């Protein structure tokens, strides 16, 4: 979220640990969990329900462009639903940015309630456009690309539907998701952190572009370190749960 790069990932981590202790790295954990329980549940429910219905109608996996459209719709909706928790999460991670001190929030629901009461509904959904756009792109990268990667890997006949296939497909999907959503993620976080210096998404994008094209991929390495393992764990556990409960999916 730095406007100008002053500190890289490891330097920032060590600074947080020195100044606030190791547990400060987990500031905003309840908000992050709340965001996942709203954002991820919504996008997974929309995408998988619609995909399975399309697959049943055609007696086979839907084409990739349909998966992309479903991922975009599901992710956009999920991003909007998860915006309040996402805003509080950013607030808890940036203690010097939001008054009053975000660390006084006892949990995510307390943070959302206080923002709603003190700054209004508009502030609670600040950055909703960018959060929804990011949700669409990351869902295309994760869910659509995972299904397509898994389908292509299985089509080679070299691997069966096992945990290694799930790992490989989810690793590819995590890389695709990081590449697709990082520019939007940069703009979204800047808008959520802003104190009125940006006149909307377009102005934020123009100001970021002045720093050079690589400014849109600022934080790419920590984003990949976060998103790829998150994607791998999500789909590996999901596939194991499907097998345990005997759920068959048309991918």
Exposure of 184 in the CB half-sphere (CA atoms within 13 A): 20
Report the pLDDT value the prediction gives residue 251, as an integer from 0 to 100. 59
Residue 167: Cβ-neighbour burial (10 angstroms; 0-12, 13-18, 19+): middle
What pLDDT, on a 0 to 100 scale, did the predictor assign at position 236?
Answer: 95
Could you state, in order of their start, the residue ranges of all structural domains in the chain?
1-126, 129-250
Query: Mean pLDDT per 10-residue run, the chain (251 residues)?
Result: 69 89 84 87 94 77 93 96 84 53 66 86 84 92 96 92 95 96 85 77 88 88 92 95 82 59
Structure confidence by residue, pLDDT tens digits, 167-197: 999 999 999 999 999 998 888 778 767 777 8
Superfamily (CATH) of domain 1-126:
Mitochondrial carrier domain (1.50.40.10)
What is the model's pTM?
0.78
Q: Given this model, what pLDDT does residue 30 score?
A: 81
Q: Decide if 142 contacts 231 (C-beta within 8 A).
A: yes
Please report the pLDDT score of residue 101 as a whole number. Answer: 43
Of 14, 34, 36, 35, which Cα lies nearest the Cα of 25? 14
Cis peptide before 100 (omega within 30 of 0): yes
**Contact in structure between 108 and 40 (CB atoms under 8 Å):** no
Query: In angstroms, rounded to a whole number, what is the distance separating the alpha carbons of residues 126 and 99?
Result: 15
Tell me the H-state helices in the chain.
9-20, 29-35, 41-58, 64-81, 83-93, 108-119, 121-124, 128-139, 145-155, 163-193, 201-209, 220-245
CB 31 within 8 A of CB 108: yes
pLDDT given for residue 122 in this prediction:
85
CB 180, CB 137: distance < 8 Å: yes
Residues contacting residue 248 through CB under 8 Å, at least 6 positions apart: 242
């Amino acid at each position: 979220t730095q406007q100008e790069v002053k500190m890289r990932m490891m330097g920032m981590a060590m600074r947080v640990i020195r100044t606030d202790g190791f547990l400060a790295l987990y500031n905003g954990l309840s908000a992050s969990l709340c965001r996942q329980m709203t954002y991820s549940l919504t996008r997974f429910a929309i995408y998988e329900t619609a995909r399975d219905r399309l697959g049943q109608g055609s007696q086979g996996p839907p084409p990739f462009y349909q998966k992309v459209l479903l991922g975009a719709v599901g992710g956009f909706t999920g991003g909007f639903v998860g915006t309040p928790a996402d805003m509080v999460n950013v607030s808890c991670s940036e203690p010097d940015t939001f008054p009053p001190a975000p660390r006084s929030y006892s949990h995510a629901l307390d943070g959302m309630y206080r923002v709603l009461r003190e700054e209004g509904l508009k502030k609670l959904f600040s950055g909703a456009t960018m959060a929804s756009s990011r949700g669409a792109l990351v869902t295309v990268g994760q869910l659509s690309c995972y299904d397509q990667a898994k389908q292509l890997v299985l089509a080679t006949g070299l691997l069966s539907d096992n945990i290694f296939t799930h790992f490989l497909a989810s690793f590819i999907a995590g890389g695709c998701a990081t590449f697709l959503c990082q520019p939007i993620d940069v703009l979204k976080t800047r808008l959520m952190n802003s104190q009125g210096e940006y006149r909307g998404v377009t102005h934020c994008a123009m100001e970021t572009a002045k720093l050079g094209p690589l400014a849109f991929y600022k934080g790419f390495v920590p984003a990949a370190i976060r998103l790829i393992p998150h994607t791998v764990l999500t789909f590996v556990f999901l596939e194991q749960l499907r097998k345990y409960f005997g759920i068959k999916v048309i991918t």
